[in-house]
Structure 1
Amino acid sequence: MNARKPNKILSVKDQIADQIRSDIISGDLAPNTKLNEKEMADRFGVSRGPIRDVILQLSKEGLLISKNNCGASVNSILEPKVQRLMIKLRRDIEVYAIEQLKDKLTDAEFSELDTLLSELQTALDKEDYTQVTKSDIAFHKYLINKAGGDELVNLWYPYVMRMRLNYKRITSSTECVAEHKLILDALRDSDLSKASKAIKSNIK
């Protein structure tokens, strides 16, 4: 059994951001919902300062939109043309990342990716679709990070999160995990063409 690295201890601000992110992904906070700083501060038992930091962070991710004198709200659903553009941009970034990873991943890193796929399978088995989304993103983020570090992640991440507001695609447990396994197997085989094709097929 492969030991995983201990979970990083999140700051209060990061915990709040993660919860709001989950609320948006799950649909508990629908597109265009206005957020009230005082209500959020009361909910999490903090001052407005951390809440403003969270709003800024999630705005950078594309999940929220903040306007002067209007406060913050959950971002709107993308128009189909813009959604297609974001899909193309995300695919381009991930194909680029795959190209950088040829023969670069270690056995330990492949083991980490296998564990992430197991977590995705577990979330699907539990029908916890918020966690499914998080596990899905975590798998891709791991690859992006290994390919280009924080710089590439910061370029890629807003596209992923913004697309999630439009995410209506439903796949079975078998299909979802199989799509990711194709990516991983192709990387193990150093087959860039197959890995790129698998990435493009997964991002829809």
Structure 2
Amino acid sequence: MAGSRPTKILSVKDQIAEQLRSDIISGDLAPNTKLNEKELAERFGLSRGPIRDVILQLTKEGLLISKNNVGASVNSVLDTSMQKLMINLRRNIEVYAIEQLHGSLTEKDFAELDKILDDLQGAFENEDYTQVTKVDISFHRYIIYKAGGDELVNIWYPFVMRMRLNYKRITSGDACVNEHRLIVEALRSGEVSKATKAVKANIR
């Protein structure tokens, strides 16, 4: 079961960043919403220093935008042409990752990917679409990290997070999970071309 995995201990700043990501992904913090450091500090019971650190982190991820003398706000929705560009850039990175793996994933890796897909199925069953998004991202991040470590993740991550600000593709739970299972099956069988095709079909 996915729940048998050890719980990752997050720092207070990481917990706040994760909560704000959830608020943005869910739409509770809508695009262009201005963030107030003082209000966030009061909400989380912290000084403004750690809040600034979190804002900087989320700005690097592409979820927030910061301007001098204006402060930070939730990034705006991409227009159609920019969204297409983001999709193409993300696809290129993920295809590159697939090609770099060279059959290096172990049975332990495949077991972890299967567990992530169990979590994805569970999130759909619970109709928790914020969690669906976060688990979906964690699936792709796992593959990216295995292919190129933190360096490749840091290139890829802002693209995937920026796309989530206006993610409109609605699919059923079964269809979404199956799209990801096709990627895993192709990787397990060492079929690079099949894996890249499955990745491209999933990112749209």
TM-score, normalization by structure 2: 0.98
Distance in 2 between the 1:72 and 1:2 partners? 36
Q: Name the CA shift for 1:191/1:17 in 2 (closer, same or farther; >3 Å).
A: same
**Which digits, 9 at most, give the CA deviation of each residue in 1:124-176, with x for residues without a partner?**
00000000000000000000000000000000000000000010110001100
Q: Secondary structure in 2 aligned to 1:18?
A: helix
The unaligned stretches of length 5 or more in structure 1 are none
Q: Give the letter for the 2:39 counterpart.
A: E
Tell me by how many angstroms 1:2 deviates.
Answer: 8.4
Report the identity percentage: 72
Tell me which residue corresponds to 2:11: 11
SS state at 2:190 partner = coil
The 8 Å contact of residues 4 and 112 in structure 1, kept in 2 or not, is answered as no
The answer for the alignment partner of 2:45 in structure 1 is: 45
Q: How many pairs does the alignment contain?
A: 204
Cα displacement string for residues 172-193 of structure 1 (whole angstroms, at most 9, x for unaligned residues): 0110000000000000110011
Task: Report runs of 4+ in structure 1 exceeding 3 Å deviation.
Answer: 1-5
> CA 1:43–1:95 in 2, change beyond 3 Å: closer, same or farther?
same
Q: Which amino acid aligns with 1:33?
A: T
Tell me if structure 2 keeps the 8 A contact 1:13–1:54: yes
2:61·2:161 contact (CA, 8 Å) conserved in 1? yes
1:103 deviation in Å? Answer: 1.2
Instruction: State the partner residue of 2:58.
Output: 58
CA RMSD of aligned residues (A): 1.2
Paired with 1:67 and 1:6, the residues of 2 have a C-alpha distance of 39
Q: Matched residues in 2 for 1:4 and 1:109: separation?
A: 16
Is 1:24 paired with 2:24? Answer: yes
Q: Following superposition of structure 1 onto structure 2, how do residues 89-104 of structure 1 map, counting pairs within 5 Å?
A: 89-104=89-104
Residue identity matched to 2:168: K
The CA deviation at 1:4 is 5.4
AA in 1 matched with 2:7: N
